[in-house]
Amino acid sequence: MIGAGAVTLLGISIEEGAVAAGAVVNRDVMKNTIVAGIPARYIKDVS
């Protein structure tokens, strides 16, 4: 799931994770994790 206004840089892979609204993703997002912020940082695991 990718929130509104989120930006991902070229070549970034988002597995089955979630990206918060407005985040700027500059690294791959691993499975079952939530990232948020500028730049996007790990928040927590989701089961």
Print pLDDT tens along the chain (47 aa): 999 999 999 999 999 989 999 999 999 999 999 999 999 999 999 97
The pTM of the full predicted model, rounded to 2 decimals, is 0.87
Q: What is the pLDDT of residue 47?
A: 79
**What's the confidence (pLDDT) of residue 25?**
97
Cα angle for residues 12, 16, 19 (degrees, 5° grid): 60
The residue range of the domain holding 38 is 7-45
Residue 21's pLDDT is what? 97
User: How many domains is the chain built from?
Assistant: 1
CB 29 within 8 Å of CB 41? no
Is residue 1 assigned to a domain?
no
User: Is 12 inside any structural domain?
Assistant: yes
* pLDDT at residue 23, as a whole number: 97
What's the CA gap between 24 and 42, in Å, rounded? 12
Q: State how far the Cα of 9 lies from the Cα of 43, in Å rounded to an integer.
A: 19
